[in-house]
Structure 1
Amino acid sequence: MPTESRRPRFHDLHRGERPLLLPNAWDVASAVAFVDAGFPAVGTTSFGVGAAAGRPDGGRASRDATAALVRALAPLDAHVSADVEDGYSDDPEEVAAYVAGLGCAGVNVEDGTDGRLVDPAAHAEKIAAIRERCPEIFINARVDDYWLGEDATVPAVLRRAEVYVAAGADGVFVPGATDPGELRELAAAIPVPVNVLAVPGRTLDELGGLGVRRVSTGSLPYRAALDAAVGVATAIRAGEPPVAATSYRDAQQALVRFAERT
């Protein structure tokens, strides 16, 4: 991994030959593992962060845990983008102050609150406040029409995206959008990098061919980790041999190297 002075800017990673694959971590160890696997940037996942603390996703429950995790990840030799739900406040200045205190390379801010879409003008005010307070940060504006099943059409998404880009968004995230034709249309019409969740049956290069510039894993790694952990225990209970895994020594050394950077 290149040093900070030589590392490509987070913004530039969205304009490479292939889409940026952003794995989403839920704690320090998962973030360290992603970076050790060669990823130049990691995101956080509000679902995973909240779940690790015993809280369901949404409802602004991940506010403090997300801030603590992002600050703990500061020594990583990689860019960090924080999933901050809806900014954890209806007040644009409070949202901007929260983001400014994270010290990360990017944020993902969604336009849904309590499971419903908000007025795009209100969300644009949050984006504008973040942009003014944090001119260097990559603002990924999440458009939740598809995710929440409200007015889930290309024209509706484009109307919201236009407002958010005008307010200062650097990227637009459309979780839940999977149809190739719709993805192509969205990417062609939105003038900033378009981000989607990993789409079953579509490779990174195929999504790139549709115009997508960033692909996030969301909470998938966290949920897969739960399945794997339960699988280990149930296999042993069934009399099967333990599965192969990273050795204790290697896992420990990865954390030792991280701790030495703090």
Structure 2
Amino acid sequence: MTSGPPTTTAFARLHHGDEPLLLPNAWDHASAAAFAAEGFPAVGTTSLAVAAAAGVPDGASVTRDETLGLALTLGRGPFLLSVDAEGGFAQDPDTVGEFARQLFAVGAVGINLEDGTGPAALHAAKIAAVRRAAPTLFVNARTDTHWLRDGDERDTLRRLDAYQQAGADCVFVPGLTDPARIGRLVDRLDVPLNILYSPAGPSLPHLADLGVRRVSLGSLPYRRALGAAVETAVAIRAGREPHGTAPSYEDVQTFASASLGQCSRAT
């Protein structure tokens, strides 16, 4: 038995359209506003950028306050917001549920929860607690069987089955890039499959043909932005003109002053 009916918000409906939801992941207000200005209806956050900004490792479960603070900054923007919450920043399911309720209260419409290949039963309990605490918050349940382990198919499916039963609205398998394995998972699932885009993996049209309903960019935009910043400084130091596209000062001012008065929790 699942912990409740599927979520039916505007964000949930983006997972059932004609094309997969391509979700860019922002790290501050300007990056989120820039994505929205390009027509992306929804924006995610990336835990790597939150951790890097705080000077701590990603996945260490120490950026709860920073994650909530970013959600507070972005949650009333003119886009739908999904928050990367690592493993919920707690082991106790009810504590994770309370954090999800706080994210929803500041405007988030979705949450990404990762199992870190810990006990599947514990992660399922966290998912169920989130559904109780914030019933309309869209739960994207991530398993790290391909990210941190060898990608055993039976273990992956066992975990995803448990997360579906606990009430996940979507399941996420970062690190999975093999088209045949992706197709087999899509055929076995009752909820949409989320794949992390990889330059070495299938293209967005190929993922769409395989039946993938959500494609996340993860930390890739942040890492590319960081790389571009360093390349710019190095080029100028070497007497070269930096290349690449950069928004103007006025463009960034526009992003910074973008209206935050629109409530993102449209139904």
Asked if TM exceeds 0.5, the reply is yes
Aligned partners of 1:91 and 1:260: how far apart in 2? 34
Aligned partners of 1:179 and 1:187: how far apart in 2? 12
Describe how 1:147-226 pairs up with structure 2 within 5 A: 147-150=147-150, 152-201=151-200, 202-226=202-226
Alignment partner, residue 231 of structure 1? 231
Question: Could you tell me whether the CA contact under 8 Å between 2:140 and 2:170 is conserved in 1?
Answer: yes
Aligned partners of 1:24 and 1:62: how far apart in 2? 17
Aligned partners of 2:207 and 2:103: how far apart in 1? 31
Question: Could you tell me whether the CA contact under 8 Å between 1:32 and 1:258 is conserved in 2?
Answer: no
| 3-state secondary structure, aligned to 2:130 | helix
Match for 1:206: what amino acid? Answer: H
Describe how 1:99-114 pairs up with structure 2 within 5 A: 99-103=100-104, 104-112=108-116
Greater alpha carbon shift after TM alignment, 167-176 vs 71-80:
71-80
Aligned partners of 1:233 and 1:176: how far apart in 2? 32
Describe how 1:1-262 pairs up with structure 2 within 5 A: 9-103=10-104, 104-112=108-116, 117-150=117-150, 152-201=151-200, 202-243=202-243, 244-258=245-259
Aligned partners of 1:96 and 1:140: how far apart in 2? 14
Alignment partner, residue 3 of structure 2? none
Aligned partners of 2:261 and 2:16: how far apart in 1? 32
Alignment partner, residue 3 of structure 1? none
Deviation at 1:63, TM superposition (A): 1.1
Question: Could you tell me whether the CA contact under 8 Å between 1:92 and 1:125 is conserved in 2?
Answer: yes
Q: Normalising by structure 2, what TM-score?
A: 0.90
Match for 2:228: what amino acid? Answer: A
Q: Normalising by structure 1, what TM-score?
A: 0.92
Question: Could you tell me whether the CA contact under 8 Å between 1:19 and 1:208 is conserved in 2?
Answer: yes
Q: Deviations over 1:88-129 (max 9, x none)?
A: 1010000000010012100000111xxxx2111111110111
* 5+ long unaligned stretches in structure 2: 1-8
Deviation at 1:261, TM superposition (A): 6.5
Deviation at 1:257, TM superposition (A): 2.4
Q: Deviations over 1:34-71 (max 9, x none)?
A: 11111000001000111112112111122111100011
